[in-house]
Amino acid sequence: MNINADFVEKLRNSGLRPTKQRLKICEVLFNTEKTFHFTINDLSKIIKEKVNEKISLATVYNTVHAFKKKGYLKEISINSDKSYFDTNTSVHHHFYDEDTNQLIDCHQNDIGNISIKKNVTGKKVNSIEVLIKVKNNNQN
């Protein structure tokens, strides 16, 4: 029918019912050329301003968490006061601009291989994530 057919399938495949609200949120999150980072607050704003649909805040929370659980979103922790989500769920790292508080992707190939020489006993490495904090040169 349209772009949404894909999303309907995507949701159905993961056991989530394709509701109006979830499809709208899919459009906002996944119908873009580039992946991006957002906070729940950002997402609520986008829905309010750009999409002619009123979605309850509780539903936004529910949906984001459901999508995260299904692996359609990734949560990124930079500092205690903001929780970011990432529509890029592939293994990749991040730059965090401390001047502007911006989060920027750093792809696997932009970083040398990381070798863990000593692991915690009896455990397997599940993920390795690097956070590179950057700042302007001209300040102390």
Partner DNA sequence: ATGTTACTTTATAATGATTCTAATGTATAT
Partner DNA sequence: ATATACATTAGAATCATTATAAAGTAACAT
Q: Which residues bind DNA (CB under 7 A)?
A: 12, 15-22, 39-41, 54-59, 61-63, 65, 80-81, 83
Would you call 40 helix, strand, or coil by DSSP? helix
Contacted by 19, from DNA, a second copy, none: CB < 5 to 8 Å by type: DNA
Question: What is the torsion angle, in degrees rounded to the nearest 10, for the CA atoms of residue 57, residue 58, residue 61 and residue 64?
Answer: -90
| Terminal-to-terminal C-alpha distance of the chain | 56
Instruction: Specify the residue, 41 or 100, whose C-beta has the smaller distance to DNA.
Output: 41
Least distance in angstroms from the C-beta of 123 to a second copy: 4
Least distance in angstroms from the C-beta of 94 to a second copy: 10
Least distance in angstroms from the C-beta of 5 to DNA: 13
Interaction site with a second copy (CB under 8 A): 75, 77-80, 83, 95, 97-99, 104, 106, 109-120, 122-137
Contacted by 109, from DNA, a second copy, none: CB < 5 to 8 Å by type: a second copy
Query: Using CB atoms within 10 A of its CB, is residue 54 exposed (0-12), middle (13-18) or buried (19+)?
Result: exposed
Residues 114, 128 contacting (CB under 8 angstroms): yes
Would you call 94 helix, strand, or coil by DSSP? strand
Q: Which of 74, 70, 72, 47 is nearest to 59 (CA)?
A: 47
Contacted by 1, from DNA, a second copy, none: CB < 5 to 8 Å by type: none
Q: CA 70 to CA 32: how far, in whole Å?
A: 19
Least distance in angstroms from the C-beta of 118 to DNA: 30
Contacted by 119, from a second copy, DNA, none: CB < 5 to 8 Å by type: a second copy
